Amino acid sequence: GAGVSQSPSNKVTEKGKDVELRCDPISGHTALYWYRQSLGQGLEFLIYFQGNSAPDKSGLPSDRFSAERTGGSVSTLTIQRTQQEDSAVYLCASSLEWSYGYTFGSGTRLTVV
Amino acid sequence: EDQVTQSPEALRLQEGESSSLNCSYTVSGLRGLFWYRQDPGKGPEFLFTLYSAGEEKEKERLKATLTKKESFLHITAPKPEDSATYLCAVQDPGQNFVFGPGTRLSVLP
């Protein structure tokens, strides 16, 4: 596609429920990143996929968070047993080559009530 | 640990009033410094990559410069459509990116 696509754009969930956020990167981009942006905060790195290499999961805040990338393309970020502090905008970005910078999607706004 | 700070937190300018945004960083070996623009409700949009001290890049009314400790984003004769949050990020040799908190720019007509 022409850009990075994320779905859903908005998600309201009850505390304790699981959620899945989807990211469709730009075709051919080998690198894919997930970030979290809380109100008034900077972007917080979550996880990074590069080609077929093992993902860099160093930014995941707890074991309730996991992500996978199937076939080197679509990625899903899963948050289990959601908590109110998980409320944020979750941004996905992809890149062909690091020096080009990322192309970001518009994000999924997650609200845990 | 890599750190990025940005100042000011918010900046209000009159149309045509030039100014600069600051990004200060500490990183264990800079691989690249990136500037992004973010509009409300949207993901950040890539503007520039700078690789080494002394480098400059320009795009329309924006010019980014880099020293060993900081980067400046100069905005010349801004227009209301330049209003956005400007984010700075650094990448270290481990390919980790660290973003600053951003500067919220408002340009009044």
Kindly report, residue by residue over B46-73, the tens digit of the pLDDT. 999 999 999 999 999 999 999 999 999 9
**Residue B93: which pLDDT band, with cuts at 50, 70 and 90?**
confident
Q: How many CB atoms lie within 10 A of CB A41?
A: 12
Asked whether the predicted pLDDT for residue A1 surpasses 70, the reply is: no
Strand, coil or helix: A100: helix
- State whether residue A2 sits within 8 Å of chain B by CB: no
Yes or no, beta carbons of A43 and B44 under 8 Å apart: yes
- State whether residue B25 sits within 8 Å of chain A by CB: no
Kindly report, residue by residue over A65-102, the tens digit of the pLDDT. 999 998 879 999 999 999 999 999 999 999 887 666 78
- State whether residue A90 sits within 8 Å of chain B by CB: no
Kindly report, residue by residue over A40-73, the tens digit of the pLDDT. 678 999 999 988 888 999 899 999 999 999 887 9
Alpha-carbon torsion A59, B67, A104, B95, what sign? negative
pLDDT value at residue B85: 96
Residue numbers in A near B101 (CB within 8 A): 40-42
Per-residue DSSP letter, A55:
P
Yes or no, beta carbons of B32 and A91 under 8 Å apart: no
* Phi then psi dihedrals of residue B22, to 5 deg: -110, 140
Yes or no, beta carbons of A106 and B43 under 8 Å apart: yes
